[in-house]
Amino acid sequence: MKILMIEDNESVAQMMDMFFKKEQWEVVNAYDGEAGLAAFKAAPDAFDIITLDLNLPKMDGMQVAQEIRKLSATVPLVMLTARDSESDQVLGLELGADDYVTKPFSPITLVARIKALHRRAEVDSGPSPEASAAGDAFDVVTAHFKLSTKTREAYLDDQPIAGLTPKEFDLLHTLAKNPKQVFSREQLLQLVWDYEYYGDERTVDAHIKKLRQKIEKVGPQIIQTVWGVGYKFDDSALDA
């Protein structure tokens, strides 16, 4: 695995280098926002994971995240920051981060989260048995919606739902393959993020909010809130 670590604290970068190399991962370090963005622009397909600090010189991490997402909607992005406010975390996730780790953090925890993201990305990038057997077949098909894990595409009434990040796609897939089943936030954390999130359910809410915004660009809302419980996929109201 090749990691781009955009981190201005050299002691943190050096510490993580040791842990990454122990895993036999290749690491490219950038110590300010402009250098990090330049490294990604130079080889946008070269990196398996990006870790991004928010408090960066020259270009703020939020700006870097926005520019990265313009170049790639799929590269897994982990934000690292000393900011611990809910608004900062939600904003970071809404800008396209797949995970958010608050400093100080355990290097072992960060390595585990990176492994989980990478494992999920590898699974999702491979063709499903159904898709392989049927060419361009869709894994989920309803009266108004269809989704393919092979092409990582989703459509509402034949209109593509564009710009989905990896986690937004995974959320949509998890909900849509179980129509009308209600999932709690804890269930979605376990199913989509593939590890315990220590009860930080704001992660799910932030991704659902962004996912809904992208769905609403092409049609009516199909992700429903079940108050006090969680979320479900339901496109039956579109038949009315």
pLDDT digits (tens, 9 = 90+) for 20-41: 999 999 999 999 999 999 999 9
Which residues, in sequence order, are CB contacts of 143 under 8 Å at separation 6+? Answer: 235, 236, 238, 239
Q: What is the pLDDT of residue 83?
A: 63
Residue range 131-149, pLDDT digits in tens? 434 445 888 999 899 999 8
For position 3, what pLDDT does the model report? 94
Q: String of b and e for 181-203 (b: at least 16 CB within 10 Å)? A: ebbebeebbeebbebebeeeeeb
Average pLDDT, the chain: 84
Secondary structure letter of residue 127 according to DSSP: P
Q: Tokens standing for 199? A: 């009860």
H helices present in the chain, as ranges: 10-22, 33-42, 61-71, 86-94, 107-125, 129-133, 166-176, 185-193, 202-216
| 108 touches 96 (CB < 8 A) | no
**Per-residue DSSP letter, 5:** E
Helix, strand, coil % over all residues of the chain, rounded to 5: 45, 20, 35
179 φ/ψ sector (left φ>0, alpha ψ -120 to 50, else beta): beta
pLDDT tops 70 at residue 61 = yes
Q: Tell if the pTM clears 0.75, that is, is over it.
A: no
pLDDT per residue as tens digits for the range 75-127:
888 888 776 655 666 666 777 788 888 877 888 888 888 887 777 666 555 44
